[in-house]
């Protein structure tokens, strides 16, 4: 029997005292999500940005790295927010020096949103240490362990997507 210190609670252990591995896996997943949420909150606070602002900036940096121009409507679609909310978001990010508006490279009537060099550096400094620590843990997995983790997380994502689509698989 594996001990986690919860034997007396009966919550993670069945009536026979054996560890309920399914419940323990879900608890570990919740613990990870709680730790990630705390780090995101610290990151937002240190950068003086809200969650949507951080998501937008990370998206813009990804698009820039892949050589893709990002119009405001692309940002609206990614974030699932209205065009008015997107305009306010971009105004905030321009005001804080994280992005700038530029003429669209192929459409004179449109603009693109471009992250500044400074914001790229800030994100790398702020998130770099966390990403390196997480990568070290992932690199310690064997190929077989990585396959199991990937398969599990994909199945969990699919289970949640099923709920989002409004039906439950049995």
Tokens at residue 44, please?
């937002």
Structural domains in the chain, sorted by start = 21-139 (1.10.10.10)
CB-based contacts of 14, cutoff 8 Å, min separation 6: 20
The CB density around residue 75, as the number of other CB atoms within 10 Å, is 24
What does pLDDT average to over the chain?
A: 86
Tokens at residue 25, please?
């896996």
**Helix, strand, or coil (residue 69):** coil
Instruction: Answer whether 0.75 is exceeded by the pTM.
Output: no
CA 116 to CA 126: how far, in whole Å? 15
Tokens at residue 96, please?
């804080």
From residue 35, alpha-carbon distances to 1, 42, 122 in Å are 27, 11, 22
Q: With bands split at pLDDT 50, 70 and 90, how would you rate the model's confidence at 90?
A: very high
The pLDDT, as a whole number, for residue 47 is 81
List, for residues 19-75, the tens digit of each pLDDT value.
788 888 988 999 999 998 898 888 888 888 888 998 999 999 999 999 998 999 999
């Amino acid at each position: 029997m594996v001990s986690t210190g919860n034997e007396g609670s009966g919550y993670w252990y069945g009536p026979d005292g054996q560890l309920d591995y399914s419940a323990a896996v879900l608890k570990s997943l919740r613990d990870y999500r709680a730790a990630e949420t705390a780090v995101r909150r610290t990151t937002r606070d240190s950068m003086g940005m809200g969650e949507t602002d951080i998501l937008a900036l990370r998206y813009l940096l990804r698009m820039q790295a892949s050589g893709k121009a990002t119009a405001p409507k692309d940002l609206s679609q990614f974030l699932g927010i209205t065009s008015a909310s997107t305009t306010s978001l971009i105004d905030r990010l321009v005001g804080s020096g994280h992005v700038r508006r530029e003429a669209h490279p192929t459409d004179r009537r449109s603009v693109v949103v471009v992250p500044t060099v400074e914001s790229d550096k800030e994100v790398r400094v702020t998130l770099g240490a966390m990403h390196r620590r997480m990568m070290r843990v992932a690199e310690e997995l064997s190929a077989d362990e990585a396959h199991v983790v990937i398969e599990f997380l994909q199945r969990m994502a699919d289970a949640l997507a099923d709920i989002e689509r409004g039906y439950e698989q049995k």
